[in-house]
């Protein structure tokens, strides 16, 4: 039986903000997806705060959970691709997008419980769950706490599968980081413009659609509430040594069909994590997108959406025969060992790099304080 949306658990629909509209001015304009797909923005009350979400389609529900510093806009093209066959929900996690930013710790546990309560609020008893980056860690948290609510699980460049992460994210755990981020995200700084130019060049190299109306991470962090939530999410789940929250001891117990998708060029969370997870999860299948970094739904939407749709519609999983799957996992283990050796060699230089990064952070923090005193 198809699952259809009702509005009785939600607030009235609100028009998307200008930042969330596409360049054509319509929330449904997308050359890579059907033009007649209507995406609604709605609000659900979760405890004492509201969660904003985008939704479209009818059928079995699919829950899309975005990553750190992002919002439901991550899934714009995925929603349109899945809506003809599924009822798609893409919430803004608390402290992100247009959702409320309550004064709280923003731990993985809090985010997981928020998504479970969101499912309750909109009437989802069971769904396919897709998580990107930090959202992958939240998806794993949902499975660990209430596995009966997940039919199929897709992990996209997922957090929670190892310690390694980009050094810039590690820097955010240093004492002076909040002041530096406040300065870099301000209109007086040239960093937001540089970030936008970098994003535009990267999307052009990838031959992916660039949306000039979508705010960059630094532009989002101009909001004190979103900046506070961003830093707390990051610091609750990671530190100067990398990710602190790991689901690796648990994932061997996952019996659901699992899809793992990673960009081969990912520098935020290494593809090594996906390779390792695919060897540990019994019913997992790994797809690596060659010309893609950390955001497959944005950087390689056509390929990613095709992979995801095939997974959600598949009656048999993994797609290969048992023999071929064992051979694939054996190749993955050999690659994992090779990458582990290279990673350990790279770790020799990491302590020195972190010390240098800390010194730079302290220097910049002192400079910003000096500039502030001079301005007074």
- β-sheet bridge partners, residue 238: 243
Is the pLDDT assigned to residue 241 strictly greater than 70? yes
Q: Count of CB atoms within 10 A of residue 333's CB?
A: 14
- β-sheet bridge partners, residue 84: none
Is the pLDDT assigned to residue 356 strictly greater than 80? no
* 128 confidence band (pLDDT: 50, 70, 90): very high
Cβ proximity of 43 and 52 under 8 Å: yes
- Write down the H helix ranges in the chain: 76-82, 108-121, 134-145, 167-171, 177-185, 191-205, 217-220, 224-237, 248-251, 271-280, 296-299, 301-313, 322-347, 350-375
DSSP labels, 118-148:
HHHHTT-SSEEEEEETHHHHHHHHHHHH-GG
* 280 confidence band (pLDDT: 50, 70, 90): very high
Task: Using the structure block, give the residue that is written with the tokens 């909109």.
Answer: 122
Domains of the chain, by residue range, sit at 10-166+244-367
- 10-166+244-367 is a CATH 3.40.50.1820 domain: yes
Mean pLDDT of 51-69: 97
* 19 confidence band (pLDDT: 50, 70, 90): very low
What is the pTM (predicted TM-score) of this model?
A: 0.80
> What contacts 180, CB < 8 A, 6 or more positions away?
361, 364, 365, 368
């Amino acid at each position: 039986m198809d699952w259809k949306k009702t509005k009785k658990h939600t607030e009235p629909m609100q028009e998307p903000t200008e930042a969330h509209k596409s360049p054509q001015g319509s929330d449904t304009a997308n050359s890579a997806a059907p033009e007649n797909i209507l995406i609604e923005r709605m609000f659900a009350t979760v405890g004492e705060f509201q969660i904003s979400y985008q939704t479209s389609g009818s059928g079995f529900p699919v829950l899309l959970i975005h990553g750190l510093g992002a919002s439901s806009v991550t899934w714009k093209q995925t929603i349109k691709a899945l809506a003809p066959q599924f009822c798609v929900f893409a919430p803004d996690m608390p402290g992100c997008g247009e959702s409320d930013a309550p004064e709280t710790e923003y731990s993985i546990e809090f985010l997981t419980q928020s998504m479970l309560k969101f499912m309750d609020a909109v009437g989802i008893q069971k769904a396919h769950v897709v998580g990107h980056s930090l959202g992958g860690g939240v998806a794993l948290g949902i499975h660990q706490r209430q596995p009966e609510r997940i039919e199929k699980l897709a992990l996209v460049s997922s957090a929670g599968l190892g310690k390694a992460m980009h050094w810039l994210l590690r820097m955010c755990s240093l004492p002076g980081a909040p002041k530096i981020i406040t300065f870099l995200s301000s209109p007086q700084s040239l960093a937001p413009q540089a970030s936008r130019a970098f994003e535009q060049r990267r999307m052009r190299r990838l031959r992916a659609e660039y949306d000039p109306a979508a705010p960059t991470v630094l532009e989002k962090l101009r909001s004190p509430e979103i900046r506070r939530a961003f830093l707390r999410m990051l610091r609750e789940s990671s530190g100067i040594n990398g990710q602190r929250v790991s689901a690796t001891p648990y994932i061997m117990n996952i019996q659901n069909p699992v899809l793992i998708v990673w960009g081969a060029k990912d520098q935020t969370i290494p593809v090594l994590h996906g390779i390792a997870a695919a060897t540990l999860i019994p019913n997992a299948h790994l797809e690596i997108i060659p010309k893609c970094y950390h955001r497959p739904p944005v950087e390689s939407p056509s390929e990613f959406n095709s992979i995801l749709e095939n997974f959600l519609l598949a009656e048999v999983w993994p797609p290969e025969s048992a023999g071929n799957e064992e051979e694939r996992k054996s190749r993955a283990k050999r690659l994992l060992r090779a990458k582990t050796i290279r990673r350990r060699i790279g770790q020799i230089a990491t302590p020195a790099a972190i010390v240098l990064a800390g010194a730079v952070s302290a220097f910049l923090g002192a400079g910003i304080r000096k500039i502030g005193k001079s301005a007074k």
